[in-house]
Structure 1
Amino acid sequence: MTWLPDLRTAALVGTARHPAPPPPVELAVRPPEGQSSEESLLDQAALADSVTRAARACSTLDAADLPEPAPPDDAPEASGEASRLLDLLLTQPPVGLELRSQLVTDWLQAAGAYGRRVPHRLLPLLLSLADTKPGVAKHLNPAIGTRGRWLQDLKAGTSKPGQGMAEDWTVLKSADATTELERLRRTDPAAARGQLGTHWEILGARERAAHLATFGTNLQDDDEELLELALDDKAKTVREVAAGLLDRLPASARAGRMAARLLPLLRIKGVLRKQFEIDLPPGPDAAALRDGIQPDPRSGEPDRLGRLDAVVRGAPLDVWTTVSGRGPAATVALLKGETRVFETILTTAAQRADLGWVRALLEVRTDLRLLSILPSDEREDTLVRHIRAGTSNPFALATPLRELPKPWGPDLADAVLGQIAAKNGGQLAALLADILPAALPPEAAGQARRLLERSDDDAARRRVLRDAVQYQSFRQSLTDAFQ
């Protein structure tokens, strides 16, 4: 085969005097159509380098270790313009790196929707990007096709294997065991509970506390038995973890005991203007101490407000509606003057993700913990209402805005762009800089463009709006290329 010598000759004397030879049939390579002689030479030089490196690597392997050839890839390749746009994003992105990753994800989703695959020549660059960008990696299939999955398997087979988890959980180091238990809580809470319960007696206090804290992931009513056991633990740290987790289980036996302590402290007073009257709890008996209510100090005044907080956190929220004879919203209205109790109830409702109380509390207070619990569509409507009513600092809403699925609905996009266009809107724009372009729906592109065209010396606002306009323009090009 004279391909390599002919290729070297063409590189030395130029393609005008010695055209680049065609790739050998044995390599089964089909060069792209419409290439100039110079482009063909450069492409084949890269191919020759890859083949030479692969041959050297394979020369040290046994035949049994060689990978299977790539299977046929019958999926149709993306069109010329769509391929060109992906090539541009991977090699010379016209936008920032974060927007580049989002646009690559958009490309992959469009390719999947239209039944097209990534050109084979771009697969190595795409898979390298996916190695560092989980958002891209999540959307690789089906757009990478059979050849892309083959390459993924090759990379997985040649990558260094991870340490993996020990078969015997008890031989793991403490931090590793906690990590494994937390992973197991996400996928199989019952198995994690059984694992910890089996080894409970042989673990140290620090390990028991750390491992038990993982139950905060996927906390279930079935966890109550082990948590009740932990209330009797010798270590204070373990008891505190157990009490904190039981605070989130309003149907537990401990919640019932806390309800029995809270009910006698509550009553409604007033005729025309009703409100709660709340007494402070007495000193704790042995049962209350077991449930996590703090004992009296050896000297000084007892923290009776702290005791009340503990009782309120542990009791079901239904105790309040039972005493008031009203629903959550009307009950919250009766608590406005009880600032500390109100805060404790708010924290409790957020921890338990009690939607009825969350909605009632959001009528009085815009709180990020409450907003994050609402379903995404309802969260959008609530944010729009609060932004337009001006009832909260818009900068404090940056976090829930970031957590919403993208793109946003037109109403929320309009409300946010209105805040960005306001006097100090550049600060909000800066807080949302990395997500705003992708969060705006196509309907908002015109509004973003008009805001950008205004004379404005706020550099942060202009930069974010420019990115949004560029992103929407490129995304429209992607859509057009696949149609």
Structure 2
Amino acid sequence: MNGTTSTDTNTTAAASSWEDLVTTALLGTDRRPLAYARSGREAPLALLDEAAVATVRRRAGLRPARAARRPDSAPEDPRPALPPAAARRLATLLADRSGGGSGGRRGSSPDLMELLPQWLAAANAHGYAAPPQTLPALLDAARGRTDLRPAALAFAGPRALWLARLNADWRFALRAAPGGGATLPGPGDTEAVRRLWQEGLFAERVALLGALRAAAPAFARELLASTWPTERAEDRLMFLDSLRTGLCAADEPFLEHALGDRSRNVRATAAELLSALPASALAARMAVRAAACVALDHTGNSPAIVVEAPLECDSGMERDGVVATPPAGRGERSWWLGQLVEAAPLGTWPGRLGGRTAEQIVALPVTDGWQGELHAAWCRAAVRQRDAEWSRALLGSPSAPEAGGPGAVSLAERAKLLAALDRAERAAWVAGFIATHGLSEAFQLLGVCAVPWAAPLGRAVVDALNIARDAGSYPWSFSGVMGLAERCLDPAEAGRLEALLAIPDEREDAAPGAGGYWAEAFQRLVTTLRLRAEMAAELAPDRSPLTGPPARPPQAAAQPDAAG
């Protein structure tokens, strides 16, 4: 109609194809002139004209797609809603994503992101539900901090899993949830349980076994035994590990059978679990072997312990979990001895060593340089068997020289031994340690103390910080302990710290400006303690000074990994 020939039309279609237009735009119209330009316009403008026409053509040619299935509604969260003040506080904590500085001068403002783990622990203890509008920010925070995930996901509740299925950035929530967020059948629905165990994904089976272990341990063992021979070695190891929860004498026959497993790792785990059962047959066998190596020597002027390490590692020892080949740098005999003593019940030794108590046994000299090896093995046994008497004896006095008890070989070992004591005794021991040895080695020990710190421990920490300030050193050397104090001191201590806020007179040999930095650090400590008191009161608005103090967050907030 307008005189355009078919050749012109084909040329236009060719020039206007989307791929050609994109190529021309990338190369430039100077290097790739348009094959056709409307109305004689300049090449760049003609290109834009053609792109506009092609865009309309592409959109007009689209066919309507099938409507996607709408997602199911978010599940209800039956838990009570947060009090309004606590909800506002949560929004403030989540908005502070800086996480504070690491090292150097931090100023006097509290580090809000480091208070979030403690706030979440307290909110979970009260059983509150997360406000729906905070869930995206909460999941984003948990995505960036793995230490935050357990408490954050518990607080976020079932809606977190619903959101995680809609956003790939939050898929970690599904991986962290038992069975990948799938709904597990109850122990009473035996048919559904057996079907899931036979046909479910590995994550679902692990979650199912863990849930059954807590609710119906006998059924869990029966289920595991039914497929045990056909499971892969790595799966058998994971399943066996679930027996740690609620380990009891009824598990012994199954674990004894696992000692003959074809996988060395499975055998070692079964032996470890059996040795944690003092009345098990394996523990009795280990007691006989260990007792044959350790005896009382009366030939000297005073009693002493004499050690004769095993001469070989026989097949029976290997079946019971003794690893025959030592690591590099370890002698075979000392390596075998340590494993036997570690696995033997601690109740073996009083009868073997003259009816002495644990404290008396640990105080005995050990001949021929075997004391370090023997005491280290007893330390591992006390930790495994959670024996408070032996832990107390091996820790010794906190004021002992060289910051060590008679058997503790490292700070990590002492921290593990402390975990077997009750919270008050643990705090008192660490307070004594700090009073004698200062803060330089105390960080690991403080990490196992219950929160908030007991008054004697809190005073010991503050006094040690004050001594460091008077010595003229910079507070940055104690930033780790100061950070723990901000999160673990009882908020009631804030008033007692007022005297530390003034800038002290600096000694001539003090580091320049150290007094001002210390005043700033103590100001941040006091401000943080007051903020924690406010947070606790907001989460328990029905409590008043007359009815009792606000609920206190559980111990988990004091762990070093959460403290950053």
Deviation at 1:170, TM superposition (A): 4.4
The one-character-per-residue Cα deviations of 1:159-192 (angstroms, maximum 9, x if unpaired) are 6396527852344555664565456546654444
Equivalent AA in structure 1 for residue 429 of structure 2: T
When the two chains are superposed, the root-mean-square deviation of aligned CA atoms in Å is 4.6
Equivalence map 1:312-461=2 (5 Å): 312-324=341-353, 325-334=355-364, 338-363=371-396, 364=405, 365=408, 367-390=414-437, 394-421=439-466, 422=468, 423=471, 426=475, 429-455=478-504, 457=514
> How many angstroms apart in 2 are the aligned matches of 1:345 and 1:68?
51
> How many angstroms apart in 1 are the aligned matches of 2:288 and 2:137?
58
Equivalent AA in structure 1 for residue 320 of structure 2: D
Deviation at 1:240, TM superposition (A): 2.1
Q: Are 2:165 and 1:160 equivalent residues in the alignment?
A: yes
Structure 2: gaps of 5 or more residues:
1-67, 98-108, 143-147, 167-173, 175-179, 185-194, 397-404, 505-512, 545-564
> How many angstroms apart in 2 are the aligned matches of 1:463 and 1:194?
61
Q: Aligned to 1:98, which of 113, 116, 124?
A: 113
Q: Are 2:279 and 1:251 equivalent residues in the alignment?
A: yes
> How many angstroms apart in 1 are the aligned matches of 2:82 and 2:320?
65
Equivalence map 1:133-212=2 (5 Å): 135=151, 160=165, 163=180, 164=182, 167-172=195-200, 177-178=205-206, 181-182=209-210, 185=213, 189-212=217-240
The one-character-per-residue Cα deviations of 1:244-290 (angstroms, maximum 9, x if unpaired) are 22232221101111222233333222454321011122434443343
> How many angstroms apart in 2 are the aligned matches of 1:247 and 1:66?
50
Equivalent AA in structure 2 for residue 385 of structure 1: G
Change (3 A) 1:461 1:318: farther
Match of 1:467 in 2: 524
> How many angstroms apart in 1 are the aligned matches of 2:421 and 2:77?
47
Q: CA contact under 8 A between 1:165 and 1:180: conserved in structure 2?
A: no
Using structure 2 for the length normalisation, give the TM-score. 0.58
> Secondary structure at 1:197's aligned position in 2?
helix
> Secondary structure at 1:394's aligned position in 2?
coil
Q: How many equivalent residue pairs?
A: 397
Structure 1: gaps of 5 or more residues:
1-59, 141-151
> How many angstroms apart in 1 are the aligned matches of 2:135 and 2:205?
32
Q: CA contact under 8 A between 2:286 and 2:343: conserved in structure 1?
A: yes
Match of 2:268 in 1: 240
Change (3 A) 1:105 1:307: closer
Equivalence map 1:302-317=2 (5 Å): 303-317=332-346
Using structure 1 for the length normalisation, give the TM-score. 0.66
Deviation at 1:460, TM superposition (A): 8.0
Deviation at 1:241, TM superposition (A): 2.2
> Secondary structure at 1:474's aligned position in 2?
helix
Deviation at 1:412, TM superposition (A): 0.8
Match of 1:43 in 2: none
Greater relative contact order (Cα < 8 A, sep 6+): 2
Deviation at 1:362, TM superposition (A): 1.3
> How many angstroms apart in 1 are the aligned matches of 2:474 and 2:117?
24
Equivalent AA in structure 1 for residue 221 of structure 2: R
Q: Percent identity?
A: 25
> How many angstroms apart in 1 are the aligned matches of 2:74 and 2:233?
50
> How many angstroms apart in 1 are the aligned matches of 2:219 and 2:76?
41
Q: CA contact under 8 A between 2:77 and 2:158: conserved in structure 1?
A: no
The one-character-per-residue Cα deviations of 1:398-438 (angstroms, maximum 9, x if unpaired) are 23423433221221111111222325683664224544223
> How many angstroms apart in 2 are the aligned matches of 1:224 and 1:385?
41
> Secondary structure at 1:168's aligned position in 2?
helix
Equivalent AA in structure 1 for residue 361 of structure 2: T
Equivalent AA in structure 2 for residue 381 of structure 1: A
Deviation at 1:328, TM superposition (A): 0.5
> Secondary structure at 1:374's aligned position in 2?
coil
Equivalent AA in structure 2 for residue 379 of structure 1: R
Q: Aligned to 1:227, which of 250, 255, 272?
A: 255
> Secondary structure at 2:292's aligned position in 1?
helix
> Secondary structure at 1:249's aligned position in 2?
coil
Change (3 A) 1:304 1:426: same
Q: CA contact under 8 A between 2:260 and 2:267: conserved in structure 1?
A: yes
Larger Rg, first or second structure (1 or 2): 2
Deviation at 1:61, TM superposition (A): 10
> How many angstroms apart in 1 are the aligned matches of 2:440 and 2:346?
31
> How many angstroms apart in 2 are the aligned matches of 1:277 and 1:293?
22
> How many angstroms apart in 1 are the aligned matches of 2:347 and 2:356?
10
Equivalent AA in structure 1 for residue 319 of structure 2: R
Change (3 A) 1:265 1:352: same
The one-character-per-residue Cα deviations of 1:100-151 (angstroms, maximum 9, x if unpaired) are 53686699699x89xxx99xxx9555555555466577679xxxxxxxxxxx
Change (3 A) 1:458 1:361: farther
Change (3 A) 1:431 1:459: farther
> How many angstroms apart in 1 are the aligned matches of 2:361 and 2:351?
10
Change (3 A) 1:97 1:273: same
> Secondary structure at 1:273's aligned position in 2?
coil
Mean CA deviation greater in 332-341 or 99-108: 99-108
Change (3 A) 1:257 1:83: closer
Change (3 A) 1:373 1:189: farther
Change (3 A) 1:400 1:185: farther
Change (3 A) 1:394 1:194: farther
Deviation at 1:308, TM superposition (A): 1.6
Change (3 A) 1:471 1:221: same
Equivalent AA in structure 1 for residue 244 of structure 2: G
> How many angstroms apart in 1 are the aligned matches of 2:338 and 2:382?
14
Change (3 A) 1:477 1:187: same
Equivalent AA in structure 2 for residue 306 of structure 1: W
Equivalent AA in structure 2 for residue 240 of structure 1: A
> How many angstroms apart in 2 are the aligned matches of 1:153 and 1:176?
17
> How many angstroms apart in 2 are the aligned matches of 1:449 and 1:384?
22
Change (3 A) 1:350 1:459: farther
Change (3 A) 1:459 1:239: farther
